[in-house]
């Protein structure tokens, strides 16, 4: 199956969320649902980005902490993260984010490559960005984002 070229479509819709002030989007067709924080079961020896497993109506779903995935500072305000559950070829995966945004439509002509001044951890997980009036919408590549198999890596 060929990868879609985001720049050739007239408009696209994205489910948005925030992580440490950064504004991210995922194609709405990839999003299964959005949930409040769910109780988690820790997974011994899992990569550090894996927060745990949640039981979603009988379906076991891996939860990835997006702050850790992006190598950002930990949540310190005591707020619990929200779950953005995405569909993947391997099943559902939850991305733990700070705050859920809206579904927004963007014009293809505002799509650009990810800027070089983004932190490298974020830039490598992006398909690109859409320029908005007052900020950039960072389009997450869900396949790269959930690709956390294996043990913890050394820095």
Indicate whether 20 belongs to any domain.
yes
Is 3 within a domain? no
**By residue range, what is the domain housing residue 90?**
9-144
Domain count for the chain: 1
Six-digit token pair at 7?
Answer: 């720049």
Instruction: Give the containing element (helix H, strand E) for 123.
Output: helix 120-123
Confidence of residue 9 (pLDDT cuts 50, 70, 90): low
Residue 79 lies in a domain: yes
Report yes or no on 150 lying in a domain: no
Output the average pLDDT for the chain: 87
Q: Which CATH number does the domain housing residue 103 bear?
A: 2.40.50.180
Q: Is residue 151 part of a domain?
A: no
* List of residues 6+ apart from 27 with CB closer than 8 A: 12, 13, 14, 15, 139
> How much is the average pLDDT of 60-67?
96
Residue 1 inside a domain? The answer is no
Rounded to 5°, the CA angle 79-47-54 comes to 50
Cα first-last separation, the chain: 34
Instruction: Determine, yes or no, domain membership for 2.
Output: no
Is a pLDDT exceeding 90 seen at residue 151? Answer: no
| 121 falls within a domain | yes
pLDDT tens-place string over residues 76-92: 878 899 999 999 888 99
Prediction pTM value: 0.86
């Amino acid at each position: 199956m060929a990868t879609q070229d985001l720049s050739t479509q007239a408009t696209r819709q994205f489910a948005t969320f925030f992580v440490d002030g950064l504004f991210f989007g995922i194609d709405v067709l990839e999003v299964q649902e959005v949930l409040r924080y769910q109780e988690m079961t820790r997974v011994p020896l899992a990569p550090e980005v894996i927060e745990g497993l949640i039981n979603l109506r009988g379906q076991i779903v891996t939860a990835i902490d997006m702050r850790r995935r992006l190598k950002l500072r930990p949540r310190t305000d005591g707020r619990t993260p929200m779950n953005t559950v995405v569909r993947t070829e391997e099943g559902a995966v939850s991305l733990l984010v700070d705050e859920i945004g809206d579904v927004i439509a963007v014009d293809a002509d505002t799509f650009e490559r990810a800027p070089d001044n983004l932190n490298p951890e974020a830039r490598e997980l992006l398909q690109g960005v859409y320029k908005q009036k007052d900020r950039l919408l960072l389009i997450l590549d869900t396949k790269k984002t959930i690709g956390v198999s294996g043990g913890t890596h050394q820095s």
